[in-house]
Structure 1
Amino acid sequence: EIAGFFAAIFAWGNRTTIINKSKELMQLMDNAPHEFCLRHTTADLNRLLNFKHRTFNPTDLLYFIDFFQHHYNKNESFESAFTQGMKTGDANIENGLNGFYNYFFSLENVPKRTLKHIASPAKKASCKRLNMYMRVI
């Protein structure tokens, strides 16, 4: 789930670069992103401080890892992050995407620059990358 989410977030630009940067990040996480997010040390995080993909930088990456740790300490699946905003009878995923955006940025000290990496229908975004990701989970 985590690897797929990062790949979706990185999905703009050259396909080869997207794949290579996704693989690079997974290698930095010892090819175990779930375990890494839950049990990382300061030394583990320091290995990530030079990672960058286009406008996605270490500040963004560290916030994403904090969010994943927060989420997976309370939930088994990432799917619940998207469904919590849904209401019975919803004809589409719009409420789920808006709820996800609000949930993702609900932690303290969200870096303002990181907001640009998650789309929201409430901000008139088409959410193509999030929709692509949700087809897989």
Structure 2
Amino acid sequence: MYQSYFEDWEVKANFTKEFVSLWGGWLGDESYKLDLVTENEWSRFNEFIKLLSQGFMVKLADCKSEKLLDINNIQDTFSNYSESMTKDSSLFSRYVLPELDCVITEEWDYTYIIWHKNNGAIEKLAPFITKAKLKHFCN
């Protein structure tokens, strides 16, 4: 199942990107806002994943073993605020929602990416994004 989503540790090229962030678009000249993000604002991403786990089966992608792992307690997969501020990108979380045929990856600058196949996943995820007080946009 892992190979359906990943190739060489990267999400396969046949997926489309939708960005989830604290803001409704790229910051550009307002990049100073990155330094002003509070722990409470940052925690919205964990809340988003937690909400998803209540509505869908969520698996954790382990690129080293090339497997999708079952998750008993979604909160065990979260970093805390201080860990998140210093972790290497190789430790960023990669979640798979098989029911929606999509991948959600943690990225830099308070952004997650939903990798989808234009199959209605974004429409199904939008209420969870809103409930977590996040925004989503595409390029």
Q: TM-score, normalised by structure 1?
A: 0.34
Give me the TM-score of the superposition, normalised by structure 2.
Answer: 0.33
